[in-house]
Amino acid sequence: MKANKTTAIILLAISLVCVFIAGNSFLSMHKKEPIVNGPGVSEVKMLSDYYPDIKGTSGDTEIYILRGDNPGGSILVFGGTHPNEPSGLLATVLLIENAKLEKGTLFVIPRANNSGFTHNDPQEGSPQRFSIETDFGERWFRYGSRATNPIDQWPDPDVYIHASSRQQLSGSETRNLNRGYPGRDDGTFTEKVCYGFAEFIRKEDITLTIDLHEASPEYPVINAIVSHENAMDIASLVVMNLEFEGVNIGLEPSPVNLHGLTHRELGDYTDTLSVLMETANASQGRLRGKTNEALVLEGKDPMYVKAKQLDRLYVPFDESGHPLKERVGRHVAGIIEFSESLSYVYPDKEVIIENIPSYEEILTNGIGKYLRKPI
């Protein structure tokens, strides 16, 4: 009897330790990385200011507004549509903490799928966070999931039917923010978030929307811009100018029969000019090795080196990999070119962004050089 009691106490203690560790891990995923308001930030609003139905939920998220001294057009930049694609988050943070507007307005949303940042994909073995070295120490950032947290929306159907088009996809795509546009006021949690963003775009009359993404090296649409037909003239100029700067990038038209994505539905259901940008990220792919912080930061993977030798990839890949600073640099360079091309094509919608590091500066100095110290 005494032995059984001792065993029970030991098992209870082990269980309590496991509960504590699991609970601490769960709670830590709900802690947001610090973002510092730079000199150009005029105000910070919430998505619920435009769509009150999501107030108090994990779908609500910050909208950083940088207004110029002179009127002009407006640009919206989405980061974190897929929270396991970190270059979009980091590119938006660099904008928030550095950019100044001479003309027009810049809206920046670093955590578009805020719910997706509150968990990750355990079967992928992904890290919960990663850190960037700076002059003042480390800055940490959340590495989340491609999809909305199932705590906020569950269960998944066997088949996801896109509401406005009746397109059918895998049931798990019902929690993919980039399959839910233009959203529904009476839809699922994810569709309501999409609806909120569409409402925000309509109410603020956003001129140009840029959605930042990453893709696996074996994915055909990579290191590319995907453009709705209404933005193709601007996107073509951006591609040409980036090529002149040594940033190789492709241009893809938004497929008219693939629904739910920002570049298609926001272009169809709002007046914004809508594009999406992709970079090459080894931690997204199916051919990768161990998924850890080093892979996220350095983008080096011997499995992808072999895959390139077998001609199975759509981007160059050698021992140098595709580090996070390169991917962030591509996004930032694209945003700069989009602002300049928008101003050229639509002079009455001019947006002039200053104080942003160039692609070469980010490659040379690293991301940490342009991050501010949290207070």
d(C-alpha 308, C-alpha 167), whole Å: 34
Torsion sign over Cα 80, 330, 207, 252: negative
**What H or E segment, with its residue span, contains residue 35?**
none
Domains of the chain: 31-370 (3.40.630)
Per-residue pLDDT band for 25 (boundaries 50, 70, 90) equals: low
pLDDT tens sequence across 201-227: 999 999 999 999 999 999 999 999 999
pLDDT tens sequence across 95-106: 999 999 999 999
How far from 5 is each of 1, 12, 15, 16, 228, CA to CA, in Å? 6, 10, 15, 16, 68
- Helix 86-98 with 324-345: angle, nearest 10 deg: 60
Tell me: pLDDT of 26 over 90. Answer: no
The DSSP bridge partners found for residue 139 are: 132
Beta carbons of 249 and 284 less than 8 angstroms apart: no
Beta carbons of 207 and 342 less than 8 angstroms apart: yes
d(C-alpha 58, C-alpha 113), whole Å: 9
What DSSP line would sit under 96-163, residue for residue?
Answer: HHH-EEEEEEEEEES-TTGGGGG---GGGT--SEEEEEETTEEEEEE---SS--TTTS-PPPSEEE-T
What values do phi and psi take at 120, rounded to 5?
A: -135, -175
d(C-alpha 192, C-alpha 163), whole Å: 12
Per-residue pLDDT band for 7 (boundaries 50, 70, 90) equals: confident
pLDDT tens sequence across 116-170: 999 998 788 899 999 999 999 999 999 999 999 999 999 999 999 999 999 999 9
What values do phi and psi take at 121, rounded to 5?
A: -100, 100
How far from 304 is each of 307, 318, 322, CA to CA, in Å? 5, 8, 11
The DSSP bridge partners found for residue 104 are: none
Tell me: pLDDT of 6 over 80. Answer: no
Tokens found for residue 167 = 């397109």
Best CA proximity match to 35, nearest among 81, 84, 89, 82: 89
3-class DSSP state of 46: strand
Beta carbons of 275 and 235 less than 8 angstroms apart: yes
What share of the chain has pLDDT > 70, as a percent?
93
**Residue owning tokens 């002149």:** 244
Contacts 24+ apart (CB under 8 A), 253-258: 253/226, 253/227, 253/229, 254/226, 254/227, 254/228, 254/229, 257/167, 258/167
Amino acid 19: pLDDT: 47
Q: Residue 323 corresponds to which amino acid? A: P
pLDDT tens sequence across 224-275: 999 999 999 999 999 999 999 999 999 999 999 999 999 999 999 999 999 9
Amino acid 342: pLDDT: 98
d(C-alpha 329, C-alpha 336), whole Å: 11
pLDDT tens sequence across 55-113: 999 999 999 999 999 999 999 999 999 999 999 999 999 999 999 999 999 999 999 99
d(C-alpha 343, C-alpha 346), whole Å: 5
pTM of the complete model = 0.93
Which residues have CB under 8 Å from 189's CB, separation 6+? 57, 59, 115, 148, 152, 153
d(C-alpha 357, C-alpha 95), whole Å: 9
Of 84 and 18, more confident:
84
What DSSP line would sit under 55-82, residue for residue?
Answer: TTSTT--EEEEEE-SEEEEEEEEE--SS
According to DSSP, the β-strands at 273-280 and 43-46 are: unpaired
Amino acid 121: pLDDT: 86
Q: Which of 248-252, 287-291, 331-335 has the lowest mean pLDDT?
A: 287-291
Tokens found for residue 274 = 């809508």
**Residue owning tokens 């940033």:** 247
| pLDDT, mean over the chain | 94
Alpha helices in 187-310 (DSSP H): 189-204, 232-244, 267-269, 293-298, 302-309
pLDDT tens sequence across 317-329: 999 999 999 999 9
Per-residue pLDDT band for 293 (boundaries 50, 70, 90) equals: very high
Tell me: pLDDT of 17 over 60. Answer: no
Q: Residue 58 corresponds to which amino acid? A: S
Amino acid 11: pLDDT: 64
